[in-house]
Structure 1
Amino acid sequence: MQSYLRGAQHRALRQLLRRCARAQRRACSSLSAITAGFFLLLCACVLYLPEIHWELPDSADELRSVTLLVWTHPFGHYRRLPDCWEQYQVEGCLLTDEPLEYSHVDAVIIHHRDIATGAAELPPEPRPRAQKWIWMNYESPAHTPGLWQFEHKFNLTLSYRADSDIFLPYGYLVPGIARSHDAHLLHAPSRARVLRPRLVAWVISNWSDSQARVAFYHELQRYVHIDVYGQAGLPLASGSESVIRVVSRYQFYLAFENSQHRDYITEKLWNAVAAGAVPVVLGPTRHNYERFLPPEAFIHVDDFPSVRALARYLLMLRRNPSRLQHHLDWREGYSVVQPTFWAHHYCAACRAVRKSRDTTQVVHSLEHWFWSDRG
C-alpha cells in the first residue's frame, strides 16, 4: 500500500513538471524573458517541496478490507450479522457466516463453548496461508471446559480479559456522550431524588446452593430485605432493558458474579450502573473493579469485616441521603457502554485483524493464560 501511494505521488509530480515545462515554452514564445524565468523558478521550487503525506482515498482503503468468518453462531442461536461501519464506524470489515467461504477469508472467529462441547468442530487443517483463528469466550475460567485441547491452535484471543489480544469487556465507561448505539448517558440524581422506593434487588438466572454468592445472599437477607428476581424469585421478562427498568426502582443492586476471577465483571454490574442503583459487588478484588470505574461507584463486600457490617452500612446510607449521594455524584459526565452480543465483538475482532494483518502469532498456552492471576 505504501508503494502504491509513493507511485501515485511520483506520477502527480511528473505531471506537474510537464505542465511547468509546457508553460515555460509558451511563455518564452509569447511573453517576456522575465515571465519565462518566473515559471522556471516555480518549477524548481516544486522539486524541493517537502514530502507529501497522502490521505488514503476510499478506493485505496477498500484494498485493505478484510473478511471475517463467524464459524458458528454462539450457543447455536442465530443472529443477523452487523454492518460494522453503520453500527460501529469500523471500516473495511466484511462478515460472513457461510462455511464455504472458509478458504477465502482473512480470519475465523470461533466461540469456545461450541467447540468444547462438541456442538461444532474446528475448521479443517491446513488453514489458508496467513489466515488467523480467533478464540472468543465470555465465560469465567470455572465455566470454560477443555482449554487444554486447543493449545497452539489460535492466533488471537477475544474476551473480557484486559490482557486479551482483542479486549472488549461486558461494559465500560466513556467520558461525555459516547458515539455508540450501545451507550447510555448517566446522570447524578439531585439531592431531592437520591432515595428510591425500594432498597435491594438481585436478579439471578443460575441458582446453585454451592455458589459463594448464594451463601452470601442467605446471610445478608437475615439483616435487610432483598427482592429476588429470576429462577428463584419474582418473574422477570428477558432482556437487559427489562432488568434495567426493574433495578431503577431500587437503591442498591447485588452484582454478585457466579465465580471470582480476574476481570470477570459482567453485565450485572453495568446493568446496575445504567439503572442508577449503587452496585454491591462480589467478584474479583476491589483493585480489579477500580480499573473499570471510580472507587466510590460501588460497594465491595470485602470492605466489611462481616455480612452484618455490610447490612448496617446499607441501612445507614438509606437514612443519610447526603452520604448516599457520595456513591452517585461521580456519574455526571459519563456514559456507560454495554456491547451488544455478538455484533460489537465481531466488529472489534475485524478491526483488530485489519491492524495486525501483516503479523502472525500463536497462542501457545491458552489454558495457563486464562487461569492466571485469579482474584
Structure 2
Amino acid sequence: MPPNRPLILFWTRWFKKAVDLDAIPRCDFPVEWTNDRSRLAEAAAVIFHVPNFKEIADARKYPGQLWVAWSMESIVNYPALADPVFMRHFDLTMTYESGSDVWTPYLPEAGWWEAARKPVAPPKMEAAPAVHFQSSSFNKSGRDTLLAELSQHIGVDRYGKFNSNRHVEGPDLGPQTKLETIGRYRFCLALENSIAPDYVTEKMFDPLAAGTVPVYLGAPNGADFVPENCYIDAASFDTPRELADYLRHLIETPLEYEAYFAWRSKPLPERLLVQLERAARPPKVRLAALVHERLAARAAQPSGRPYSPFGYAAFLSTRLSRWRGRFRAG
C-alpha cells in the first residue's frame, strides 16, 4: 500500500534560497513537504531544481522513490533538461513545457485576465513610443541586437539594471511602479532571454496588464498563451527597421493601434480557457496529486518497477566540465 501521508523532499534550493514550505498551497489530501535532506530515505518523491544541478551530486535514489526534475527556466539556458542521459534518472518533470508531467507555465490565472481587462488603458504620455525593462545581460534570443538596431530608428526608453537610459522617478514600489511606467508608453518591448517553445514569461503578460501593446520576441507559439491580435510579433519582420516603420505606422493610424486593445472587450478565446483550466490548480498541488496516483498504481501491481540506488557523484564528474558555465539564467 502507498503511504497515507507521502513525504516530498526538496533536495536542492530554489537558486540561492530554500523552498518556502509555508508558501505551498494546502492540498485536499494528506502530504508532507520538507527541505530536510536527512529524510531522503523516507521520501516518496524527491524534487531537484535543475538550475541547481551541482547540488544533485550527493543524492542517492532509494527503491520506489519518484524523482522530479523541476525548472521554470528555458531549456536553451539549461540544456541538461534535453540531455537524455541526465533525464533518465527522473520519473517526473515539472517545467514550463506543455508536455511536462506537471505543467508549470508563467500563464496568469483566470482572475488576472479579468482584472487586466477592466481598467481603461492609461494615456500615453511619454515622448518615446516604446519602453523596455531589462536587468540581466543574459542574451540567447538576439534581443540585444534587436534593441540596439531598433533604437536607431525609433525612440526606446530603457529601464532596469542593464544598459538603461531612464530611471524610475519617485519611489519604486516594485511591480506596481513597473506596470505604471509601462502603461505610459504606446509599446513595450517584451524580449525573452532565449527562444524556446512554450517559454512565454511575464515579459509578454506585464504589458497587457499595464494597458499597452507588447512587441514580443520569444516563443514561436507565443500566440497560444494570449488572446488574438493583442501583441506584435517582432520575428515577423525582416529587419528592426521594418519593425520601427510599422510602429510608426500604428502611431499615425490610431484606429489600427486601438485594434490591439479589442481583446479587452471580448470573451477570452476557448483555446486560452482550456489552458487556464489545465493550470488552475497550483503546480505543487498537482505534483502531490500525481505522486499519490503513481504510488497507488505501483502498489496495485504484483511487483513494482525496480529501482537501484544511484549516486550522482560519478555521473556528474564526467559531465561537469561540459556543462560548466552553461547554466546561468537571466
TM-score after normalising by structure 2: 0.73
Q: Is residue 240–residue 271 contact of structure 1 (8 Å, CA) maintained in 2?
A: no
Kindly tell me: are residues 66 and 169 of structure 1, through their superposed partners in 2, closer, same or farther at Cα, counting changes over 3 Å? same
Match status 1:249 vs 2:184: yes
Aligned position for 2:317:
none
Matched to 1:352, the amino acid is L
Aligned-pair CA distance for 1:72: 1.8
Kindly tell me: are residues 79 and 153 of structure 1, through their superposed partners in 2, closer, same or farther at Cα, counting changes over 3 Å? closer
Aligned-pair CA distance for 1:83: 5.3
Q: Which runs of 5+ in 2 are unaligned?
A: 299-304, 307-330
Aligned-pair CA distance for 1:121: 2.6
Aligned position for 1:32:
none
Kindly tell me: are residues 226 and 106 of structure 1, through their superposed partners in 2, closer, same or farther at Cα, counting changes over 3 Å? same
State how far apart, in whole Å, the 2-side matches of 1:141 and 1:209 are: 14
Identity of aligned residues (%): 26
Aligned position for 1:66:
6
Aligned position for 1:82:
22
Aligned-pair CA distance for 1:215: 0.7
Return the index of the structure with the highest Cα Rg.
1
Matched to 1:104, the amino acid is E
State how far apart, in whole Å, the 2-side matches of 1:240 and 1:294 are: 23
Q: Is residue 216–residue 231 contact of structure 2 (8 Å, CA) maintained in 1?
A: yes
Aligned position for 2:203:
268
Aligned-pair CA distance for 1:304: 2.6
Equivalent pairs counted in the alignment come to 281
Q: Is residue 113–residue 137 contact of structure 1 (8 Å, CA) maintained in 2?
A: yes
Kindly tell me: are residues 66 and 266 of structure 1, through their superposed partners in 2, closer, same or farther at Cα, counting changes over 3 Å? same
1:232 to 148, 151, 163: 163
Aligned position for 1:160:
96
Aligned position for 1:132:
66
Aligned position for 1:214:
144
Kindly tell me: are residues 146 and 162 of structure 1, through their superposed partners in 2, closer, same or farther at Cα, counting changes over 3 Å? closer
State how far apart, in whole Å, the 2-side matches of 1:66 and 1:325 are: 52
Kindly tell me: are residues 136 and 251 of structure 1, through their superposed partners in 2, closer, same or farther at Cα, counting changes over 3 Å? same
| Local SS of the residue matching 1:113 | helix
1:1-375 equivalences in 2 (<5 Å)? 65-82=5-22, 84-86=24-26, 91-115=29-53, 118-125=54-61, 127-129=62-64, 131-147=65-81, 148=83, 150-172=86-108, 174=110, 177=111, 185-187=115-117, 190=120, 193=121, 195-198=123-126, 199-207=129-137, 212-230=142-160, 231-233=162-164, 234-235=166-167, 240-285=175-220, 288-332=221-265, 344-359=282-297
Q: Is residue 184–residue 274 contact of structure 1 (8 Å, CA) maintained in 2?
A: no
State how far apart, in whole Å, the 1-side matches of 2:40 and 2:174 are: 33
Q: Is residue 202–residue 254 contact of structure 1 (8 Å, CA) maintained in 2?
A: yes
Aligned-pair CA distance for 1:265: 1.3
Aligned-pair CA distance for 1:229: 1.4
Kindly tell me: are residues 351 and 322 of structure 1, through their superposed partners in 2, closer, same or farther at Cα, counting changes over 3 Å? farther
State how far apart, in whole Å, the 2-side matches of 1:221 and 1:321 are: 22
State how far apart, in whole Å, the 2-side matches of 1:241 and 1:352 are: 36
| Local SS of the residue matching 2:224 | coil
Select the structure with the greater relative contact order (CA < 8 A; seq sep ≥ 6): 2
Aligned-pair CA distance for 1:84: 4.1
| Local SS of the residue matching 2:295 | coil
Matched to 2:41, the amino acid is S
| Local SS of the residue matching 2:144 | helix
Higher strand share: 1
| Local SS of the residue matching 2:209 | helix
TM-score after normalising by structure 1: 0.65
Kindly tell me: are residues 67 and 269 of structure 1, through their superposed partners in 2, closer, same or farther at Cα, counting changes over 3 Å? same
Aligned-pair CA distance for 1:91: 4.1
